Chains A and B, each alone.
Chain A
Amino acid sequence: MSFRVLTKSFVSQRLTPSLLHRTFATKKYTPSHEWISIDKNIGTVGITEYAQNSLGDVVYVEVPEEGTEVELGDVVGAVESVKSASDIYSPLTGEIVEANQAVTEKTKLINSAPETDGWLFKVKFTNQEEVDNLLDEAAYKKLTEADH
């Protein structure tokens, strides 16, 4: 796995600068198991592999409407799995600029690809400080290991 990742970044470095940028988009996390991929002032949000694993088979996904103004911690969506309705929170203050409609039609994407095709929404954030306060990968990993 690490070899594959290494190869990819190596190739992208040699190919185009835009791919290089994408490869190094920062990924952050919340204690409520959302991931946020930061690219300039847009954060793409989804639930983590750890979260999908503990939820089980997802049968329903609700994403926010585009154009909605949200604040950090607002409930902006919902996921249902095995009789459990879970809230999805916005990890950042800003405006919802895009929502993943594909995932509402094909909810299994949350289980099969939670951190790629199963993304939920994109938020154009206004407060860099909130981004800085999110967990980095090492801190999130530590948190999920403590949960076991």
Chain B
Amino acid sequence: MLCRILRKSDPESFVLYLWRNRPTIVIGRNQNPWKECNLKMMASRNVLLARRTSGGGSVYHDMGNSNYTVVMPREAFTRDKCAEMVSRALHHADIPAYVNERHDVTVEGRKISGSAFKLTNKRAFHHGTMLIDTDLGRLHGCLHSEAKDDIEALGVESVRSVVTNLREYSLSIDHLTFCQAVMREFGRTFGKLDVGRNVTVWDESDTDVVGMVEEERKRISTWKWLYGQTPRFVHRFGGVVGGKPVVAKVSVYHGHVTEVSLEYDAGQEDADDCGIFQMISDSLVDAPYVAADIRGCLGPISRESPAAAELCRWILEKIMEAASGDSA
């Protein structure tokens, strides 16, 4: 998240950043939150959404998960280098970790740490998670979208892995012991780390840094970045409304509806139906794909007729399964 500050570092340097945060689903740069997350559950459990600038799939963070970021010269980058470093750090804590073919750190075939990378002209970033004592129930719940199979999307789909916590293998490991082990191994891998000289401590009097963090925080918490950055997708759903089978198709680009198609199976629409379909489609185009906005658009149409009200109620219910996220 501190990409901008880290980017300002000496282009030849290796920087290690260790951190953790409150419950959040973090999706990859080119992912679809409607497809990857259970936005409804996240809203009810107060789990935040974040989008990385690095690639890869979705992960769940909470205070039981520690994150590491390494920034290095682009030429020094390989996908396994930092994962291997973290794996070696765990060996010192008596945890038999190894890196698998997906560049994840695993123990006994179960994933404990995911990797994601960002490559710029001169620099490369490696982001990694480490499940130490995470709420795995919440992890699974929040990473499962009810609309997953109904959404056809460009972009990157997460690969599901069996996960576990380090707690299964060590009673003593925690955020601090993990950080110390990684710092030691970082020093061994990339050159001696002189804590007295090489560690920068920032506090609130560093107005430059505080200002930059605030600016970056604002940018990455905008709707435009979290939802609007989503690659083009189509949400298809079907059901029975007023005794007739109906199929809906909503196309979304940059988080906004671009096209809506509604039809009864086997062309059972009459002129009234077509009129309502057209009104619904017209009202939804350009709306952000968020339940609250969709509800606002459909309100006036619901008052047209009982049939229209039933159709609108059904559409909203279906869209809420996928789109209970934050308003634009």
Contact = CB atoms under 8 A, between A and B. Distances in A.
Interface of A: 32, 59-60, 62, 78, 80-87, 89, 104-105, 147
B238 interface: no
Given A60-B154, A60-B155, A83-B54, 11 more contacts: A59-B30, A59-B155, A80-B29, A82-B79, A83-B56, A83-B116, A84-B79, A85-B116, A86-B118, A86-B120, A105-B154
Contacts of B54: 83-85
Interface string B17-29: 0000000000011
Contacts of A80: 28-30, 55, 156
Interface in B9-37: 28-30
27 contacts: A59-B155, A59-B156, A60-B55, A60-B155, A60-B231, A78-B30, A80-B28, A80-B29, A82-B79, A83-B56, A83-B79, A83-B103, A83-B117, A84-B55, A84-B56, A84-B117, A85-B28, A85-B29, A85-B53, A85-B54, A85-B117, A85-B119, A86-B118, A86-B119, A87-B121, A89-B121, A105-B154
B270 interface: no
A80 B120 CA distance: 12
A85 B56 CA distance: 8
A81 B56 CA distance: 8
A104 B53 contact: no
Main secondary structure on chain A at its contact with chain B?
strand
Closest 6 pairs between A and B when the two form their complex, measured CB to CB: A83-B56, A85-B55, A84-B117, A60-B30, A86-B119, A80-B55
A84 B56 CA distance: 7
B206 interface: no
Contacts of A87: 119-121
A87 B53 CA distance: 10
Interface in B99-116: 103, 115-116
Interface residue range, chain B? 20 to 34
B3 to A, nearest CB: 11
Contacts of A105: 154
B102 to A, nearest CB: 8
A147 B73 CA distance: 13
Nearest to A83: B56
Contacts of A60: 30, 55, 154-156, 231
A32 B156 contact: no
B154 A104 contact: yes
Contacts of A85: 28-30, 53-55, 116-119
A83 B75 contact: no
B56 A62 contact: no
A104 B75 CA distance: 28
Contact of B55 (A32, A83, A89): A83
